[in-house]
């Protein structure tokens, strides 16, 4: 894909368009100082940036897409990614995206009845 087609005036684009996945874009307004942040997890569909805030604080912003047809290995890598985000040194963290877990009650992060094994595992690790 031609990245020029994705340009938005006044915003810096962070993406994973070089990967084999679907492609994720994260836009940060140019009035903010942001740098791409590489995560060590092998989760396939994510992009992260660190935004510098006043008083030497930093915001870690991440955008994630988990396919509803993902593999068990990728689910494990998602868990590792979330643990890495939780342990990141940034003073503030914002994680956005589509996790495609329709069997989760998101208000209290618990599985609904008859939830898949992956859903139950995700909720057990991230409550």
More confidently predicted of 87 and 113: 87
The structural domain count of the chain equals: 1
**Using 50, 70 and 90 to split pLDDT, how confident is the model at 80?**
very high
pLDDT at 20: 65
pLDDT tens readout for residues 21-75: 568 999 999 999 999 999 999 997 999 999 999 999 999 999 999 998 888 899 8
Show the tokens assigned to 49: 């940036």
**Burial degree of 20 (CB within 10 A; 0-12, 13-18, 19+):** exposed
φ/ψ (deg, to 5) at 14: -115, 135
pLDDT at 61: 98
Rounded Cα–Cα distance for residues 30 and 34 (Å) = 8
Cα 103 to chain center, whole Å? 19
Print the domain residue range for 56.
3-125
Rounded Cα–Cα distance for residues 56 and 90 (Å) = 10
CATH code of the domain in which 89 resides: 3.60.10.10
């Amino acid at each position: 894909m031609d990245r020029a087609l994705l340009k938005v005036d006044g915003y810096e684009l962070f993406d994973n368009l070089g990967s084999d996945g679907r492609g994720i874009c994260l836009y940060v307004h140019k009035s903010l100082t942001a740098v791409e942040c590489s995560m060590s997890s092998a989760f396939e569909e994510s992009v992260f940036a660190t935004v510098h805030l006043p008083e030497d604080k930093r915001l870690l912003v991440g955008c994630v897409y988990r396919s509803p047809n993902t593999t068990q290995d990728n689910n494990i890598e998602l868990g590792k990614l979330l643990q890495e985000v939780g342990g990141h040194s940034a003073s503030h963290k914002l994680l956005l995206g589509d996790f495609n877990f329709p069997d989760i009650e998101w208000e209290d992060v618990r599985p609904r009845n008859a939830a898949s094994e992956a859903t139950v595992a995700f909720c057990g690790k991230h409550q």
